[in-house]
Amino acid sequence: MDPVSDVLRPLWRILRTTAQLWWKHWPALLVISILAWAGHEFFLSLAVFSTRTHALLSFLILPFAPLSALVGYIAILHYTAPSLMDLPSLRKKEGAAAVTSFVGVVSASILPFLALYAAQGTAKADKLVFLRDVFTDHLVADGLLAPEQLNDRYGYSSPLLIIAVVLIAVLIRRIISALKLNDKFPTFRLFSGYLEALWLVSLAGLLNLYTGRITEWFHKRAMVSAVIERSEGLIEWWNTPSLPDFITQPWGDFNGLLTALIITPLATLTVAAAVYGATFDNNPMEFGLTATIEERLDNTPSFLKRGWNMLAQYVADIFATVRKTLAAVRKVMAAGVGPVIMMSLLVAAAGHLRTPLTMAARALVGPQAQTVWYVLRPYTTLFVEALFMAITVPLVAACSASIARARREQLAAERATQEVES
């Protein structure tokens, strides 16, 4: 077959499906997106207000901000699933089964979603907004008469507090699992999902404090340094003056290129695979590394195995999240490298819509003083992010349907080959 047609045909199918989803569901898409980001802004403001009591309260509230966005993301993927011809509809569940299914999807989606959340700069923006609003709130309430109280309200600047929150959340999560409270009381599943978000968001905040050091160490590795040098020519060629700034600006350096072309698209498709995982093929691609590790573990001395099993019992909840994420990645990659690369480029291109949407919001408001922009920030953020979610998530759903279709065609071709050989 023609290689060009093999690429253009699924691309056209994805774009057509996305347009159909927009046309058919745009009112619901807007409502879900607005509610999700209204919740995000509400919990962010509530976290700022809670610092008047103690910085620890803000840590307990902040995870609800990305969780609100994640719930909206999952809701759109669920809502659009029945309209996808290439993707079987998700089975509707009720009562405790619905709670269990929802928490399971959130648990499997939260790690790739936080990677997407950070790669798009939303996590950093949340931190800056939180710190700025805490400073403004303290300035309005107390002026500059009590600077030591301002430092107490900045929980983000205390690594010990972050580590304590992570350890306590993981410990409580472990106790719930050991006592099997999730099985006895289904409502505990919601609390377990919150704890999962709490320690992951807190850990991400801790890593943000050392992002500069980690990046510097990573760039000094010989292999990475060589890749960076070779990528400079591509970035220089791409950053041509003839292209608009909102296209070239996010890819201004190696980190931007890596984030835009690999991390963001793969994390986006992984979230969708975690949501649609039950409808995907049950035989995802396996990595040879897994079998190698298991073979080596079988050859280890018995006392080391016992020590490893004891350690695994205490960190099982942490690795469970990682295992769910890796399972979703395998489902994405099962479609083949070619389709995944094509869809990653498509998702990367859609990721640039946020800047023109921001420009449109500024044009609607018009020239205003800085104080006016500060007051309007929650509303402009809600406008931009809600539209961005309503536009891009149906595209991700269409890509997921294309992955499921590509996997079915691949399996059908393999079965046909086996029948011919037999």
Q: pLDDT digit string (tens) for 203-225?
A: 776 766 665 555 555 555 555 45
Tokens standing for 128?
């800056």
Question: 187-209 and 159-178 helices cross at what angle (nearest 10)?
Answer: 150
Does residue 47 surpass a pLDDT of 80?
A: yes
The whole-number pLDDT of residue 349 equals: 75
Does residue 118 surpass a pLDDT of 60?
A: yes
Return d(Cα 107, Cα 184) in angstroms, integer.
19
The angle formed by the CA atoms of residues 260, 409 and 274, to the nearest 5 degrees, is 45
Q: Are 107 and 321 in contact (CB under 8 A)?
A: yes
Name the pLDDT band for 32 (thresholds 50, 70, 90). Answer: very high
The whole-number pLDDT of residue 78 equals: 84
Name the pLDDT band for 31 (thresholds 50, 70, 90). Answer: very high
Q: Concatenate the DSSP letters of all residues of 35-91 into one string.
A: HHHHHHHHHHHHHHHHTTT-HHHHHHHTTHHHHHHHHHHHHHHHHHGGG-TTSPPPP
Q: Are 150 and 134 in contact (CB under 8 A)?
A: yes
CA distances from 370 to 134, 367, 373, 379 (A): 17, 10, 5, 15
Return d(Cα 394, Cα 402) in angstroms, integer.
12
Residues 6+ apart with CB under 8 A from 52: 137, 141, 153
Q: Are 138 and 49 in contact (CB under 8 A)?
A: no
Q: Over the chain, what is the mean pLDDT?
A: 72
Whole-angstrom distance between the N-terminal and C-terminal Cα of the chain? Answer: 25
Name the pLDDT band for 37 (thresholds 50, 70, 90). Answer: very high
Q: Are 270 and 332 in contact (CB under 8 A)?
A: yes
Local structure of residue 283 (DSSP, 8 states): S
- Indicate the residue type of 60: L
CA distances from 166 to 171, 188, 197 (A): 9, 19, 10
Q: Concatenate the DSSP letters of all residues of 229-242 into one string.
A: HHHHHHHHHHS-TT
Return d(Cα 219, Cα 169) in angstroms, integer.
32
Q: Of 6-15, 300-309, 384-393, which has the strongest mean pLDDT?
A: 384-393
Q: Scanning the structure block, which residue is given the tokens 């953020």? A: 381
Q: What share of the chain is helix, strand, coil (3-state, %, to 5)?
A: 85, 0, 15
Return d(Cα 372, Cα 415) in angstroms, integer.
64
Rounded to two decimals, what is the model's pTM?
Answer: 0.76
Return d(Cα 154, Cα 140) in angstroms, integer.
16
Of 89-103, 134-148, 154-168, 181-195, the least confident: 89-103
- Indicate the residue type of 240: T
Return d(Cα 136, Cα 377) in angstroms, integer.
14
pLDDT digits (tens, 9 = 90+) for 228-270: 555 555 555 445 544 444 444 444 455 555 566 667 777 777 7
Query: Average pLDDT of 130-151?
Result: 71
The whole-number pLDDT of residue 36 equals: 94
The whole-number pLDDT of residue 304 equals: 57
Query: Average pLDDT of 131-142?
Result: 78
Q: Scanning the structure block, which residue is given the tokens 């099982």? A: 316
For residue 333, how many C-alpha atoms fall within 13 Å in the half-sphere facing its CB? 12
